[in-house]
């Protein structure tokens, strides 16, 4: 009897993050969430946030949210050696794109949270804004199989008087038109489709696995035709790459013609975690811009005030000409602290520790030894005093003041 009882003790404990799916070179891990509705106190942003996944397979080069993946890796290392080893075989920036965590119980946790007498219930009681998809795209490829976002929407459809924002690049959102319509009948719903260029080839270089611009415009038309409030986030505008005045004006006209209610926009921000991915990519894809970026972002995560104000004024004029509103009630929040990710909603983390650690990472690391990796420096004031690149950016337009 004693020997029989001892046998189970010899078996290894079940993994905390079992592999629940695979897609080519992407692996999906199941994780059990203890909370899914992140408060403004924990994220530092003026809204609540929900992220059904950790990591994002779209692999956008500029994405700020890679920092959030690190904490999932750390948690995996605690008691789940197999998962930790699998994650650590990739560099952190690549693990964010290829090792995705699926919050399988997210809907159940959200329902308990909204029904309970917790502080987070204020998101419903006081109609405080809730943003779905701040650190991951809720309609990335994983959603086709796992349907975590759909389950979350079903829970949100049960509530009334919500202020809900959904941010995505994916036309998969049109799959959920029926439940989105139910939410819009009982709550205030705004959808933000992210689109930074109409150039399909350029989009593929910048956002390797994201849906094409044409697919996103088709989704915009379908959502608008269903009577939903849909805006477009031109976030981020990449200096020297996507900031040509004619290209931006064409983009504004296209989204206006497709039924968008408004446009939000902001210039690229480069905090430490996004620099480690974006700048080496830039050095390979657009080497003629390397020196410009070193100077423009050499002492801070933002480009100059003059560039940002010039960009704003140009887009406001383009929107007036196209007959579409520039900015939305959420614009101020989306242009708050943090870099421009797929939705540019700031550094919305998974727990309070994420925010504190994310701030600490903005200290300057040692200078790299390889000439192919650009240095990362501390934040502060910067200048933009270098010549325009061969592809003319907004600096060529007299309405834009870059400080050249």
In a domain, 93, yes or no: yes
Do 120 and 109 form a contact (C-beta atoms < 8 A)?
A: no
Between 177-186 and 148-156, two packed helices, what is the crossing angle to 10 degrees? 30
User: How many domains does the structure of the chain reveal?
Assistant: 1
pLDDT band at 39 (very low <50, low <70, confident <90, very high): confident
Q: How far is residue 119 CA from its own chain's centroid?
A: 26
In a domain, 401, yes or no: no
Q: pLDDT tens digits, residue range 189-223?
A: 999 999 999 999 999 999 999 999 999 999 999 99
State the pLDDT at residue 291. 93
In a domain, 1, yes or no: no
Enclosing domain of residue 241: 19-363+383-396
In a domain, 62, yes or no: yes
Residue 376 has pLDDT above 70, yes or no: no
Do 246 and 400 form a contact (C-beta atoms < 8 A)?
A: no
State the pLDDT at residue 87. 58
Query: Which of 144, 207, 151, 194 minimizes the C-alpha distance to 172?
Result: 144
Q: pLDDT tens digits, residue range 5-19?
A: 444 444 444 455 555
Q: pLDDT tens digits, residue range 85-111?
A: 555 677 777 888 888 999 999 999 999
Those residues whose C-beta lies under 8 Å from the C-beta of residue 156, and which sit 6 or more positions away, are 110, 130, 162, 164, 183, 187
Mean pLDDT of the chain: 77
Q: What ranges make up the beta strands (E) of 24-122?
A: 26-31, 48-50, 53-54, 99-103
State the pLDDT at residue 20. 56
Beta bridge partners of 53: 102
Furthest C-alpha separation in the chain: 87
Residue 295: which CATH number?
3.20.20.70
Identify the residue with better confidence: 113 or 240. Answer: 240
In a domain, 169, yes or no: yes
In a domain, 57, yes or no: yes
Is the Cα dihedral 153, 171, 52, 146 positive or negative? Answer: positive
Between 81-88 and 66-77, two packed helices, what is the crossing angle to 10 degrees? 140
In a domain, 73, yes or no: yes
What is the phi/psi pair of residue 233, to 5°? -95, 110
In a domain, 10, yes or no: no
Query: Which of 234, 230, 262, 260 minimizes the C-alpha distance to 248?
Result: 234
Residue 279 has pLDDT above 80, yes or no: yes
Do 26 and 144 form a contact (C-beta atoms < 8 A)?
A: no
Q: Give the pLDDT mean for 341-356.
A: 34
Between 66-77 and 352-360, two packed helices, what is the crossing angle to 10 degrees? 110
Q: Give the pLDDT mean for 357-370.
A: 27
Q: pLDDT tens digits, residue range 280-315?
A: 999 999 999 999 999 999 889 999 999 999 999 999
Please state, in angstroms and rounded to a whole number, the distance separating the CA atoms of residues 125 and 320: 37
């Amino acid at each position: 009897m004693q020997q029989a009882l001892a046998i189970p003790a010899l078996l290894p404990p079940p993994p905390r993050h079992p592999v629940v799916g695979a897609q080519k070179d992407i692996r999906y891990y199941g994780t059990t969430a203890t909370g899914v509705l992140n408060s403004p106190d924990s994220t530092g942003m003026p809204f609540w946030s929900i992220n059904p996944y950790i990591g994002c397979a779209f692999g956008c080069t500029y994405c700020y949210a890679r920092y959030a993946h690190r904490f999932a890796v750390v948690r995996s290392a605690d008691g789940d050696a197999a998962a930790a080893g699998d994650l650590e075989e990739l560099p952190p920036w690549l693990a964010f794109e290829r090792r995705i965590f699926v919050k399988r119980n997210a809907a159940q946790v959200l329902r308990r949270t909204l029904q309970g007498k917790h502080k987070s219930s204020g998101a419903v009681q006081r109609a405080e804004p809730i943003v779905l998809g701040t650190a991951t795209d809720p309609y990335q490829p994983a959603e086709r199989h796992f349907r975590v976002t759909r389950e979350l929407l079903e829970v949100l459809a049960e509530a009334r008087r919500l202020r809900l924002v959904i941010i995505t690049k994916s036309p998969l959102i049109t799959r959920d038109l029926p439940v989105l319509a139910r939410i819009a009948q009982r709550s205030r719903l705004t959808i933000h489709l992210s689109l930074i260029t109409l150039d399909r080839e350029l989009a593929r270089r910048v956002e390797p696995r994201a849906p094409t611009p044409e697919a996103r415009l088709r989704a915009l038309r379908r959502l608008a035709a269903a009577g939903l409030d849909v805006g477009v986030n031109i976030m981020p505008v990449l200096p020297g790459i996507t900031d040509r005045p004619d290209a931006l004006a064409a983009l504004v006209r296209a989204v206006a013609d497709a039924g968008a209610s408004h446009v939000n926009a902001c210039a690229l921000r480069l905090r430490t975690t996004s620099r480690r991915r974006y700048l080496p990519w830039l050095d390979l894809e657009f080497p003629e811009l390397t020196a410009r970026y070193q100077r423009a972002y050499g002492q801070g995560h933002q480009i100059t005030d003059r560039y940002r104000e010039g960009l704003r004024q140009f887009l406001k004029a383009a929107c007036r000409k196209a007959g579409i509103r520039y900015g939305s009630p959420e614009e101020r929040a989306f242009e708050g602290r943090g870099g421009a990710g797929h939705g540019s909603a700031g550094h919305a983390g998974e727990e309070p520790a994420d925010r504190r650690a994310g701030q600490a990472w903005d200290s300057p690391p040692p200078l790299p030894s390889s000439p192919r990796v650009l240095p990362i420096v501390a934040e502060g004031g910067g200048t933009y005093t270098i010549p325009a690149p061969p592809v003319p950016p907004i600096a060529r337009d007299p309405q834009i003041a870059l400080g050249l």
